[in-house]
Structure 1
Amino acid sequence: MYKLCFFVPDSHLEEVKQALFAVGAGRIGHYDSCCWQVLGQGQFRPLPGSQPHIGAQMQLEILPEWKVEMVLSPEVARQAVETLKSSHPYEEIAYELSALIDPDLL
Structure 2
Amino acid sequence: MYTFVFYVPQSHLAEVKHAVFAAGAGSIGNYQHCCWQVLGQGQFQPMPGSQPFTGQQDQLSQVAEWRVEMVVDDVLMPAVMAAFRSVHPYEEPAYAVYRLEDF
TM-score tier by shorter-chain length is over 0.9
Aligned: 1:97 with 2:102 = no
Partner AA of 1:83 in structure 2: A
- TM-superposed CA distance for 1:48, in Å, is 0.2
Q: Structure 2, unaligned stretches of length 5 or more?
A: none
Taking the TM superposition and a 5 Å limit, the aligned residue runs for 1:1-106 are 1-103=1-103
- TM-superposed CA distance for 1:6, in Å, is 0.5
Q: Deviations over 1:12-37 (max 9, x none)?
A: 00000000000110000000000000
Q: How many pairs does the alignment contain?
A: 103
- TM-superposed CA distance for 1:83, in Å, is 1.0
Inter-partner Cα distance in structure 1 for 2:48 and 2:15: 29
- TM-superposed CA distance for 1:82, in Å, is 1.2
- TM-superposed CA distance for 1:97, in Å, is 1.0
**What SS class does the counterpart of residue 11 from structure 2 fall into?**
helix
Inter-partner Cα distance in structure 1 for 2:53 and 2:42: 14
Identity %: 55
Q: Structure 1, unaligned stretches of length 5 or more?
A: none
Q: Deviations over 1:46-93 (max 9, x none)?
A: 000000000110011101000000001011101111111111000001
Backbone CA RMSD of aligned residues? 0.5
TM-score w.r.t. the length of structure 1 is 0.95
TM-score w.r.t. the length of structure 2 is 0.98
Hey, which bits of structure 1, 4+ residues long, moved more than 2 A? none
Inter-partner Cα distance in structure 1 for 2:95 and 2:63: 17
